[in-house]
């Protein structure tokens, strides 16, 4: 019996070693060849989640690239920022979406939740360090193991296809054509409950925002926190007091461009938290002028 | 807890060590360890339903004891037997079939012009209920038939009903085979355990790599069947055929292999059914534990193949339709069973149902041309029947099959996953060369040098790891 146990442990150890080796090989090959180069005219980049993804139409803003991605937390934005900044020395300004829902515990689900971890890990794991991996293992070991497998497979396909271009996978402006504000407000009338998760905040996500800021500052980039326009009735604003206190306590030295109260019509919203293309065009044209006037 | 999970990867070695190192000196303690581990394994999914297994087990244990008493009269014994049948099938009927019957009665009344509103219940189907119900029923029936002496040891009986490797998806063990194994001291056997590990590895490969990869495409094709050509739909049905085979036979391999680690021999559940040369052979090789259960406890008591032609045909339809219905409360399963009965009937009427009792190409490597064609036809028929099994409703299944038999069958499929088709080719090759054995790689590489053999197992393990993230639920868990 001891022989069986010894042999099994040896076999599992060899397999784990081989898998670890293959993962290391994949990661080093991808990180060595990865291309994050943006057009040389791009001097301003924006990172964030779906709010900024739908609000900033970068075709209307000079030398600006919207790299926001739906459902992306600061945890996964950090490796993205590192690669973009390191491969694009022409970048001068980095804008980071900082809004009410990004401090909530929902962000923890965006980091290690079942739904998002596998796709994010497949994309960003070659650029994550052991500390980042530990955060995931610690909080959701089962899903981490599954995501590692998905990521192993996807990275292998990437290497097989010699596809090292990440520029089209980093995020972009998303054009929404819908307008559901009326129906949402109607539904809210009947069910206007307070979401408890708004009163609790994600320390992990906030920690990673600090890391992004530190990295940008150490690379002499101007950094701005940005809040995209949100509808007045958006329930995420419930945590405004906590949001303000965190911003003042943790990020007081970082300029905060708050467009929460930006004047828009009902028809400019896709829903209460996202602009549709009409709203995005209005806002982006205005932002372009505002930015050219040195944010005045 | 499912076999291809991190939880099970931790659970199994812990139970193994406790079993062989801590409790091996005392049989009773070892059995109670199995009971505890099995209840933990089951409770991990939903602890509330543990009470169902416990209740069902205790009832059958007590009935078994009463059945064996000399002073119990024949009428009383029959009453006890029917009590057990009613309780077990009552639970099964309630949890699995209540909504189906309520809706079907409502539809029937609507058809006759009376409108009734059925009361639907929001019932969760306890995982594995169809499996352990049949297992515990086999005990009571065998004791009643005096084929088996009842056990007085409650631990033995609870362990027999809840033995975790086969608790939720079989093989459905007979009390005559499994129960006595709990009453004798298990002795660790190195080569048997190594063989068990090999079978687990092959089972995981079938489940995680073959079934889950096929599921990805089968799901896409079945969900979008209305807009796809007949050739694509046929390919989708083929993918589903391999999905269900890889899924279920893979589960059985893991279950049998796991049981071997604990010194138990479970019955073979699959014997390379897709190499069958006719439907009768297919049914001798597919889900053997269920087919033989129905044969022994339903088909033979009904008269089997004895009696008039009408009776023979009736019995065939009953067994296939009941078998279909066992799988799920949907007309699609009944149609699947009936279609298989129709396939089987010509063989019965021509007395050819026991023609192919050996394996295809029994003494050669390659099959003869005739065998090859027979295997192809049988696989085609089976694949068409799987459409009914997989489809969401009977009309959808009929539409799907109609499109397969349309002129678009000769077009090039819109979806052609060449990687998967190549993988299936390699898989079929391994299964073919291992077709005389218990499972595909049982004898593969046994004569090779250890490092080379380990490379084979290592490659399989790495491939399994690479596919683990695309996990799909085990199909048979819903039954």
Q: Do residue A4 and residue B470 have CB atoms under 8 angstroms apart?
A: no
Q: Collect all residues of chain B within an 8 Å Cβ-Cβ radius of residue A147.
A: 469
Question: How many residues comprise chain A?
Answer: 296
Site from B24, B466, B473 to mutate, A interface, most A CB atoms within 10 angstroms: B466
Q: A64 pairs with which residues across the strands? A: A44
Q: What pLDDT shows up at residue A211?
A: 94
Are the CB atoms for B415 and B217 separated by under 8 Å? yes
Cα separation, B84 vs B60, in Å, equals 6
Count Cα neighbours of A214 within 13 Å in the Cβ-side half-sphere: 10
Q: Which residues of chain B have pLDDT under 70?
A: 118, 120-121, 123, 476-479
**Cβ of A213: how many Cβ atoms within 10 Å?**
21
Quickly list DSSP for B129-147: HHHHHHHHHHHHHHHHTTS
Residue of B nearest to A10 (CA): B454
- Write phi, then psi, for B30 (nearest 5 degrees): -60, -40
Of A22, A142, A156, which is closest to B5 when you measure between CB atoms?
Answer: A142
Instruction: List the domain boundaries for chain A.
Output: 44-104+166-295
Residue among B207, B260, B285, B327 flagged as catalytic: B327
The two structure tokens encoding residue A185: 């407000």
| Cα B349 off chain centre by | 28
Q: Is B287 a catalytic residue?
A: no
Element (H, E) at A257: strand A256-258
Cα separation, B411 vs A5, in Å, equals 54
- Does domain A44-104+166-295 match CATH 3.40.50.1110? yes
Residue of B nearest to A16 (CA): B462
Tell me the pLDDT of chain A (296 aa) as tens digits: 888 899 999 999 999 999 999 999 999 999 999 999 999 999 999 999 999 999 999 999 999 999 999 999 999 999 999 999 999 999 999 999 999 888 888 888 899 988 788 888 889 999 999 999 999 999 998 888 888 888 998 899 899 999 999 988 899 999 999 888 888 888 877 665 555 456 677 889 999 999 999 999 999 999 999 999 998 888 878 888 888 888 898 899 999 999 988 888 889 999 988 999 999 999 999 999 998 887 76
**Which of A74, A96, A100, A105 lies closest to A242, judged by CA?**
A100
- Expressed in angstroms, the distance from the first to the final Cα of chain A is 77
What is the pTM assigned to this prediction?
Answer: 0.84
Residue of A nearest to B9 (CA): A142
């Amino acid at each position: 019996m001891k022989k069986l146990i010894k042999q099994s442990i040896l076999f599992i150890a060899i397999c784990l070693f081989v898998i670890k080796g293959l993962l290391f090989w994949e990661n080093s090959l991808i990180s060595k060849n990865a291309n994050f180069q943006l057009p040389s005219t791009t001097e301003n980049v924006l990172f964030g989640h779906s709010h900024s993804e739908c609000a900033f139409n970068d075709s209307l803003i000079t030398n600006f690239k919207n790299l926001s991605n739906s459902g992306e937390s600061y945890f996964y934005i950090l490796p993205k920022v590192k690669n973009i900044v390191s491969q694009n020395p022409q970048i001068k300004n980095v804008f980071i979406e900082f809004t009410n829902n990004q401090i909530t515990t929902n962000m923890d689900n965006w980091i290690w939740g079942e739904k998002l971890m596998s796709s994010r890990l497949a994309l960003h794991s070659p650029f994550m360090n052991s500390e980042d991996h530990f955060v995931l293992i610690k909080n959701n070991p089962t899903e981490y193991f599954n995501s590692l497998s998905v990521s192993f497979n996807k990275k292998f396909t990437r290497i097989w296809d010699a596809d090292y271009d990440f520029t089209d996978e980093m995020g972009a402006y998303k054009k929404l054509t819908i307008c559901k504000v009326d129906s949402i407000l109607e539904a809210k009338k009947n069910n206007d409950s307070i979401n408890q998760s708004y009163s609790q905040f994600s320390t992990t996500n906030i920690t990673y925002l600090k890391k992004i800021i530190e990295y940008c500052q150490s690379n002499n980039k101007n950094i701005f926190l940005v809040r995209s326009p949100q509808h007045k009735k958006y329930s995420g604003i419930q945590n405004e007091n906590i949001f303000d206190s965190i911003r003042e306590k943790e990020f007081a030295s970082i300029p905060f461009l708050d467009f929460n109260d930006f004047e828009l019509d009902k028809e400019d919203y896709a829903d209460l938290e996202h602009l549709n293309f009409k709203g995005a065009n209005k806002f982006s044209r205005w932002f372009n002028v505002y930015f050219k006037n040195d944010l005045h | 807890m499912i076999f291809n999970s991190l939880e099970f990867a931790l659970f199994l070695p812990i139970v193994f060590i406790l079993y062989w190192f801590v409790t091996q000196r005392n049989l009773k303690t070892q059995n109670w360890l199995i009971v505890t581990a099995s209840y933990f394994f089951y409770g991990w999914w939903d602890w509330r339903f543990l009470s169902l297994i416990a209740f069902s087990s205790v009832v059958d244990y007590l009935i078994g004891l009463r059945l064996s008493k000399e002073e119990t009269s024949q009428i009383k014994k029959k009453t006890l037997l029917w009590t057990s049948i009613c309780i077990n099938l009552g639970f099964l009927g309630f949890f699995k079939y209540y909504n189906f019957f309520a809706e079907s009665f409502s539809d029937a009344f609507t058809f006759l012009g009376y409108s009734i509103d059925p009361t639907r219940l929001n019932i969760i189907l306890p995982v594995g209920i169809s499996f352990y119900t049949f297992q515990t029923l086999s005990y009571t029936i065998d004791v009643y038939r005096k084929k088996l002496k009842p056990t007085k040891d409650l631990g033995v009986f609870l362990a027999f009903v809840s033995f975790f490797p086969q608790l939720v998806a079989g093989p459905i063990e007979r009390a005559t085979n499994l129960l006595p194994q709990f009453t004798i001291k298990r002795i660790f056997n190195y080569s048997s355990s190594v063989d068990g590990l090999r079978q687990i590895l092959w089972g995981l490969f079938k489940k995680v790599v073959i079934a889950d990869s096929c599921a990805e495409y089968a799901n896409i094709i079945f969900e979008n069947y209305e807009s796809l050509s007949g050739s694509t739909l046929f390919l989708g049905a083929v993918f589903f055929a391999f999905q269900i085979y890889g899924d279920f036979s893979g589960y059985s391999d893991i279950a049998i292999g796991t049981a071997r680690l604990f010194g138990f021999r479970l019955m073979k559940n699959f014997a390379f059914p897709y190499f069958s040369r006719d439907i009768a052979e297919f049914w001798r090789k597919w889900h053997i534990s269920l087919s033989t259960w129905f044969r022994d406890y339903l088909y033979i008591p009904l008269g089997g193949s004895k009696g008039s032609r009408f009776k023979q045909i009736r019995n065939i339809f009953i067994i296939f339709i009941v078998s279909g219905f066992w799988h799920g409360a949907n007309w699609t399963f009944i149609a699947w069973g009936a279609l298989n009965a129709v396939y089987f009937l010509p063989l019965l009427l021509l007395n050819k149902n026991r023609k192919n009792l050996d394996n295809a190409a029994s003494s050669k490597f390659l099959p003869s041309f005739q065998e090859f064609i027979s295997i192809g036809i049988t696989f085609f028929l089976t694949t068409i029947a799987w459409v009914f099994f997989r489809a969401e409703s009977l009309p959808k299944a009929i539409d799907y099959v109609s499109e397969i038999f349309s002129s678009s069958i000769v077009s090039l499929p819109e979806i052609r996953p060449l990687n998967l088709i190549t993988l299936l080719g390699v898989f079929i090759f391994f299964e073919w060369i291992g077709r005389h054995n218990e499972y595909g790689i049982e004898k593969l590489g046994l004569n090779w040098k250890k490092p080379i053999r380990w490379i084979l197992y290592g490659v399989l393990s790495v491939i399994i790891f690479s596919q683990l993230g695309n996990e799909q639920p085990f199909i048979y868990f819903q039954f």
